A and B are shown apart, each in its own frame.
Chain A
Amino acid sequence: MDYSAIFSYMYTEIALVGVIVAALVYDLAAGKKGRQAFHGVMCALLLLFIAGTVYPYHKETAEVFGGMYVYNPVYGIVKSILAIGTLIVFLQSDTWIRKEDTEFKRGEFYVLTLSTLLGMDFMISAGHFMMFFIGLELASVPMACLVAFDKYKHNSAEAGAKYILSALFASGLMLYGISFLYGTAGTLYFDDMVAGINGSALQIMALVFFFTGLGFKISLVPFHLWTADTYEGAPTSVTSYLSVVSKAAAAFSLMIILMKVFGPMSEYWQTLLYIVIVLSITIANLFAIRQKNLKRFLAFSSISQAGYIMLAVISGTPYGMTSLIFYVLVYMVANLAAFGVISAVEQNSGGKVGMDDYNGLYRTNPKLTVIMTLALFSLAGIPPFAGFFSKFFIFAAAFEQGFHVLVLIALLNTIISLYYYLLVVKAMFITPNDSPIPAFRSDNSTRLSLLLCLAGIMALGIVSSVFDGINLYAFGM
């Protein structure tokens, strides 16, 4: 066996395993002083990892382990985006993780988060359903531990139970679907399976079961019931990770599998996605309006954003893939900025996350308020910010394939979403409040992460080379 191929194509995963091992060893070996610098060391390591793997070293598609693992420059781009999201989450998590009841298990936080990242990388690069399944579970089992991380808090434990039971149920359904795919097609390799896909009734059932499993990870509407509870109960840093990185990885690998494996059945899954998109966007928007807790509010907003992401999947073209990746990138910076502000306010005000607590925040913390406002504008898709462009590309991708009514429904829903995003802005700027949250200064790494997100929100839409760069490598059905 040729080992050099493994190192030259699997460099992302191998480097990430290196980072995980380094984190484990550092956790064990560092003394009291070393632990003070743990956060800085981890961020530096992750930055080094991103810098080393962001450039796509090969321009061609390649297979390792007999087709189990597939290398493609597009996958590399998505993995880098996920790693950048993780870095921003790490930067924001410092204040929370330094608290007394979580300080002694900081190492676990880093190792578990990086393990889920590794699982997502394998999930994206899978060329075989077993690899895909292992990656998916590697991404969701440590995630359950992270959700239940604040183990003395009732909410966190409850959220963890809801998450792990729904995750188990969803993965059971997905495996059931895969087993029938295996029974009808006779293989589990993505590339070979296409030949055996003929749209028989059994395969349609398998497709639906399979879609359920991934729909759970992306939290699309019929499978979204865990989302709000888990997002509210989990520690805020974990919530932001869950809402961005995990969702993006699942959405991307769903697109890959639908195109690669279920390509011949596209009329079936396009119908399926059509219904799911309309439901996700509409129902999530209606529920978001009535939320009073900001974390729950962002949970519903992220469900409706997932519906928009699916608009790119339904097109199945290279342009759709580019717009998906771009949308995920833009959504990531905007959502992480919003969660960063929520996290900073929560940590510095003794756990306040209600929308009423934000009344009059502008008078005491103007900078945070402005960042939050810009992030919400970007999520809503207001023109000068990146969110407008990403939404535009997604709509164009779906429109091109003839989903005119669907795009119209999505457009109408952006207006509803604008209403509830502006509710938060109104609370912060206009609603009078005699005792707003007092002014505070968040720690430097949070400020750095917010600055990064802000730069992303402002610049990503205008710097067109980002979109073109992704477009260079994208492929379609």
Chain B
Amino acid sequence: MLKSRKSEVLAAIVLAGPFVALYAWMFIYPTIQMVHLSFQNAPLIGEGTWAGLKNYTKLLSDRTFKTAVWNTAYFVLLTVVPGTAVALAIALMVSRLNGWFQSIILAMFFVPYVLPVTVVYILWDWMVNVQFGVLQPVIALFTGKPVNVWRTIPWFMPGVAIVTIWWTNGFSILLFLAGIRNIPKEIYEAALLDGASRTQVFWRVTWPLLWPVTVLCLTIQLILQLKIFDQVYLFSMGGRTQVTMVMVQYIFEQGFQRNNGGYAATIAVALFVIVVAVSVLQLQAARLRRGT
């Protein structure tokens, strides 16, 4: 008995070992290094000097950091729930189609997801270009004159949010479609026999049974959008980057453009804490909603 237990432990170590070693080397060690670096006055590359809490006190009074936190939060607000809602709506519509027609429509929604961010940027930058953009007549309907979306501060974040939802929605739609197909047909038949209206069917059957998928989508989106960088960086290049700054962009700016490795690590630690806190909160909230 004892012997077989011992061999089980050995087998467990052999099987889990490579992963644990890789994980420790590639994730845990760098994380510790990052925290260590945040207490130093260090360049991007090379040795630093111990700075104690200086980076952290600087962070608290840093105006651009506050802007970055606010913009990131605003962006999350603009994309996570609206994006998931749009994906759910599209998935519900697509699920009513059949055969090859469904495949084509689904592909149309999924294609943007395959594009690299630079292509997405160039596409949208040209579509809303203030001189030649095809969308400017639409914008002019509301404003009376062409607007440079990427240089007009109140337009910037909503603009990037729309582009992001358009770009990343395909994945959430796929997840929702899989979820919808997993709901047994009998439940719908039973509900219809009981005389449920379509609204009732959605709220009493589809919505609760899709909830796990919804939570998954929201979580993926939340973590992804907290790390927003590429789109904001690309659309704001050469303009008012300090006003439209988001957190990861600020890490990039401090680390790679200003050569402040220590301070960049401090911002990274702050982002890390925020991501962990928000993820835990969201999981708890999701559990509450499920009533367990």
* Binding partners A and B: no
Chain B interface (Cβ < 8 Å from any Cβ of A) = none
Enumerate chain A interface residues (CB-CB to B < 8 A).
Answer: none
